[in-house]
Amino acid sequence: MSTTRNPEQALAAVLQVLRGARDPISGERLAGQLGLSRAAVWKRVHRLKALGYAIEGSPRRGYRLLGVPDKLLPEEVLQGLTTRVLTGPVHHFETLDSTNNYAKELAAREAPEGTVVIAETQTGGRGRMGRDWNSPPGVGLYVSVVLRPMLPPMELPQITLTAAVAVVRATQRVTGVAPGIKWPNDLLLGGKKLGASSPKWKRRATASGT
């Protein structure tokens, strides 16, 4: 049995089926549904486990997804996106010097608009005026997005303001708490800095980080 899916597409397809299954699903059924061999399904399940997905497996009952990792893995990010622009690809790293630096490199290599760079921790994050940006693992969201806005240069700062408002609205929708904004891009909560959007411009591409 063969498939035209590449390995990453096959991994995402297995995860999607497991995510939508209410009851355990056998490897044979998974293979038939996705056009994969049973060995290929087994490999993808073990790859998902290695990424941190909690998957219960039984020879008689099949596979069942019990939990997802507390990380911004591409599979988790993409399944929650419903936008027309932020569609990936998603580049995920456990450790990276700076998501903004990497996004700028991708933009210079003609990465498509909507490319996302995520790190669980940064070793060289920078804020305004070149200040160090503390990026410890497991406590923050370190994300940059490649944008190619059709705007004249004088209007590009609007993206910074728009990003700040968007993050406030998203935070309020998810947590019920609305941060304040110290214009143009700092987010404040309880008098302390919660985050910031910090665009870096390059030609018609921008790497916007939060």
What does the pLDDT look like over 112-144, one tens digit per residue?
998 999 999 998 876 665 666 678 888 888 899
Q: pTM value?
A: 0.75
pLDDT of residue 130: 62
Q: Are 170 and 74 in contact (CB under 8 A)?
A: no
Which range among 27-36, 52-61, 65-74, 79-88 shows the weakest confidence by mean pLDDT?
A: 79-88
- pLDDT surpassing 50 at residue 4: no
pLDDT of 2 reads 43
Read off the pLDDT band of 202 (50, 70, 90).
Answer: low
Domain boundaries, the chain: 7-67, 74-209
Q: Which fold has domain 74-209?
A: BirA Bifunctional Protein; domain 2 (3.30.930)
Identify which of 196, 70, 201, 92 has the alpha carbon closest to the alpha carbon of residue 134: 196
- pLDDT for 128: 61
CA of 2: how far to CAs of 5, 26, 29, 33, 142, in Å? Answer: 9, 18, 15, 12, 38
Digit-coded pLDDT (tens) for 66-109? 999 988 888 888 877 778 878 878 999 999 999 989 999 999 99
- DSSP notation for 73-100: -HHHHHHH---SS----EEEEEEES-HH
Tell me what percent of the residues of the chain surpass a pLDDT of 70.
Answer: 86
Predicted local distance difference test score (pLDDT) of residue 191? 84
Domain 7-67 class in CATH: mainly alpha
What average pLDDT does the structure give for the chain? 83
Does an H or E element contain 64, and which? Answer: strand 62-67
